[in-house]
A and B are shown apart, each in its own frame.
Chain A
Amino acid sequence: MTLSRALPLAGFTALGATAAQAETLTVATVNNNDMVIMQGLTEAFEQAHPDIELDWVVLEENVLRQRLTTDIATGGGQFDVMTIGTYEVPIWAERGWLAPLDDLPADYRVDDLLQSVRDGLSQDGTLQALPFYAESSMMYYRKDLFEEAGITMPEQPTWPQVREWAGQLHDADQERYGICLRGKPGWGENMALATTMVNSFGGRWFDMDWNPQIDSPAWQEAIGFYVDLLNDFGPPGASSNGFNENLALFSRGNCAMWVDATSAAGKLFDTDESQVADALGFAPAPVAKTEKGSHWLWSWALAIPASSESKDAAREFITWATSEAYVNLVGEREGWTSVPPGTRKSTYENPNYQEAAPFAGFVLDAIQGADPTDATLEPSPYIGVQFVGIPEFQSIGTQVGQMVASALTGETSVEQALQAAQRATERTMKRAGYLD
Chain B
Amino acid sequence: MNKTRTSGRTIGGLRTLSLQAPAVSLLFLWMIVPLAMTVWFSLQRYNLLMPGMTGFAGLENYEYLFTDPALWSAMGTTLLMVGWVLVITVVGGTLLAVLFQQEFFGQGIARVLAISPFFVMPTVSALVWKNMMMHPANGVLSWVAELFGLPAVDWFSSLPLTSIIIIVAWQWLPFALLILLTAMQSLDEDQVEAARMDGAGPIAIFFFITLPHLKRAISVVIMIEMIFLLTIFAEIFVTTSGGPGLATTNLAYLIYIRALLDFDVGMASAGGVVAIILANIVAIFLVRMVAKNLES
Residues on A lying within 8 angstroms of B by beta carbon are: 66, 69-70, 73-74, 91, 95, 185, 236-237, 239-240, 391-392, 394-395, 398, 402-403, 405-412, 417, 420, 423-424, 427, 431-433
Contact = CB atoms under 8 A, between A and B. Distances in A.
B156 A240 contact: yes
Nearest to A423: B69
Contacts of A410: 158
Interface of B: 48-51, 53, 64, 67-70, 135-137, 152, 154, 156-158, 160, 241-247, 257, 260-264
Given A66-B261, A236-B137, A406 B48 contact: no
Contact of A185 (B49, B135, B158, B241): B241
A128 to B, nearest CB: 17
B69 A420 contact: yes
A63 B156 CA distance: 20
A185 B68 contact: no
A406 B247 contact: yes
Contacts of B246: 402, 406
Most chain A CB within 10 A, of B68, B157, B241, is at B157
A209 to B, nearest CB: 20
B244 A431 contact: no
Given A239-B244, A402-B242, A427-B68, A409 B261 contact: no
B49 A391 contact: yes
Name B's interface SS.
Answer: loop
Contact of A409 (B53, B135, B157, B264): B157
Contacts of B152: 236
A411 B136 contact: no
B70 A412 contact: no
Contact of B48 (A74, A407, A417, A424): A74
B204 to A, nearest CB: 45
Nearest to A431: B64
Given A69-B263, A74-B48, 10 more contacts: A236-B154, A239-B244, A391-B49, A392-B49, A394-B261, A406-B243, A409-B160, A424-B69, A427-B64, A433-B53
Given A74-B48, A411-B245, A240 B157 contact: yes
B153 to A, nearest CB: 9
6 contacts: A69-B48, A91-B49, A185-B244, A398-B261, A423-B69, A424-B68
B244 A411 contact: yes
Contacts of B262: 394-395
Nearest to A410: B158
A410 B245 CA distance: 10
B243 A73 contact: no
A417 B245 CA distance: 8
Contact of B51 (A73, A394, A398): A73
Given A69-B48, A74-B48, A405 B260 contact: no
Nearest to A91: B49
B50 to A, nearest CB: 7
Nearest to A397: B261
A185 B245 CA distance: 9
Given A69-B49, A410-B158, A236 B245 contact: no
A208 B102 CA distance: 74
A405 B249 CA distance: 14
Contacts of B245: 402-403, 405-407, 411-412, 417, 420
Nearest to A406: B245
Contacts of B70: 424
Most chain B CB within 10 A, of A66, A240, A412, A424, is at A240
Contacts of B157: 237, 239-240, 408-409
A115 B246 CA distance: 41
A405 B246 CA distance: 10
Contacts of B158: 409-410
B241 to A, nearest CB: 7
B136 A402 contact: no
Contacts of A239: 157, 243-244
B261 A236 contact: no
A185 to B, nearest CB: 5
Contact of B243 (A66, A74, A185): A185
A402 B160 CA distance: 13
B244 A408 contact: yes
Nearest to A74: B48
A237 B136 contact: yes
A291 B53 CA distance: 38
A343 B168 CA distance: 47
Contacts of B137: 236-237
The list of the 7 closest CB pairs from A to B, nearest first, reads A406-B245, A73-B48, A395-B262, A409-B157, A406-B244, A391-B49, A409-B244
B137 to A, nearest CB: 7
Contacts of A405: 243-245
Contact of A395 (B135, B160, B261): B261
A91 B263 CA distance: 14
Nearest to B260: A66
A391 B244 contact: no
A337 to B, nearest CB: 28
Contacts of A392: 49
Contacts of B257: 398
A427 B69 CA distance: 11
A419 to B, nearest CB: 11
B154 A237 contact: yes
B154 A73 contact: no
B215 to A, nearest CB: 40
Nearest to B249: A402
Contacts of B244: 185, 239, 402, 405-406, 408-409, 411
Nearest to B45: A431
Contacts of A432: 50
A413 to B, nearest CB: 11
